[in-house]
């Protein structure tokens, strides 16, 4: 039964059946079937990997990519706030945005919700965030960490630009930098001068937890 509802969630997205996908998410939220929100979020993420492959292979076109993204966003907006589980004291502030030119936000939002559930005060800078907005957020909020999400290889140079600008404005030693998103790797993070690369939201949250107690 649990597998059935996760299959419905995944297949609904892959068949571009919005109603079936949303119905599966709502059924999980109501607790009709014993499936954790994390399992549901993971099922949607798995489906999006397949969407990406179909798009890359030319089996799906932009219209399908866009519509599947809309369904995924609707479902993630239902599910991922439930990852927030009774945080008590703030573990610290983290400002996060998707870099300039990049409109992908599903992964960023999952990271934000996971980190909130671990007690962090998360400042969401949104998508397509220009360099200066990242810098202003560091000045204004004095966060423990600055997070950048990036899914496009065409926009990954933005990360280096923000890190350089932090240095130019004497802020680099005042904030840790964490980056994540499908376009990035550990090697990229090192070359760009980031403090950490997070391959997923759970690892990202573990990393900022370590920084918060250090």
Q: Which stretch binds ligand B1M (CB under 6 A): 2-10, 147-155, 167-175, 187-195?
A: 147-155
Separation between Cα atoms, residue 141 and residue 148, nearest integer Å: 16
Beta bridge partners of 122: 94
Which residue in 6, 28, 40, 48 binds ligand B1M (CB under 6 A)? 48
* 43 forms part of the interface with ligand B1M (CB under 6 A): no
Give the other-Cβ count within 10 Å of 20's Cβ.
16
Is residue 25 within 8 A of residue 80, CB to CB? The reply is: no
* 106 forms part of the interface with ligand B1M (CB under 6 A): yes
Closest CA to 146 of 157, 135, 158, 132: 135
* 200 forms part of the interface with ligand B1M (CB under 6 A): yes
Residue 32 or 210 with smaller CB distance to ligand B1M: 210
Which residue in 118, 151, 166, 192 binds ligand B1M (CB under 6 A)? 151
Separation between Cα atoms, residue 138 and residue 204, nearest integer Å: 19
What mask, x for binding ligand B1M by CB under 6 A, covers residues 153 to 192? Answer: xx-----------------------xxxxxx---------
Cα pseudo-dihedral 12, 14, 15, 18, rounded to 10: 50
* 12 forms part of the interface with ligand B1M (CB under 6 A): no
b/e per residue 24-37 (b: at least 16 CB within 10 A): bbebbeeeeeebeb
Give the interface with ligand B1M as residue ranges (CB under 6 A). 45, 48-49, 51-52, 55-56, 62, 65-66, 69, 72-73, 96, 101-108, 110-111, 147-149, 151-154, 178-183, 198, 200-201, 204
């Amino acid at each position: 039964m649990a597998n059935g509802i996760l299959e419905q969630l995944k297949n609904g997205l892959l068949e571009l059946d919005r109603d079936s996908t949303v119905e599966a998410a709502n059924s999980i939220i109501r607790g009709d079937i014993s499936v954790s929100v994390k399992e549901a979020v993971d099922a949607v993420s798995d489906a999006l990997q397949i969407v990406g492959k179909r798009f890359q292979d030319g089996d799906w076109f932009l219209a399908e990519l866009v519509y599947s993204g809309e369904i995924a966003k609707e479902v993630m907006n239902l599910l991922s706030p439930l990852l927030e589980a009774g945080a008590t004291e703030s573990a610290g502030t983290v400002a996060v945005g998707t870099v300039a030119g990049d409109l992908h936000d599903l992964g960023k939002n999952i990271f934000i919700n996971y980190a909130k559930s671990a007690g962090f005060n998360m400042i969401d800078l949104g998508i397509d965030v220009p360099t200066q907005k990242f810098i202003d957020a560091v000045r204004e909020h004095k966060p423990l960490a600055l997070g950048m999400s990036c899914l496009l290889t065409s926009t990954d140079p933005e990360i280096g630009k923000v890190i350089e600008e932090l240095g130019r404005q004497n802020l680099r030693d005042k904030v840790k930098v964490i980056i994540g998103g499908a376009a990035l790797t550990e090697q990229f993070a090192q070359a760009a001068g980031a403090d950490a690369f997070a391959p997923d939201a759970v690892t990202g949250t573990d990393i900022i937890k370590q920084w918060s107690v250090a």
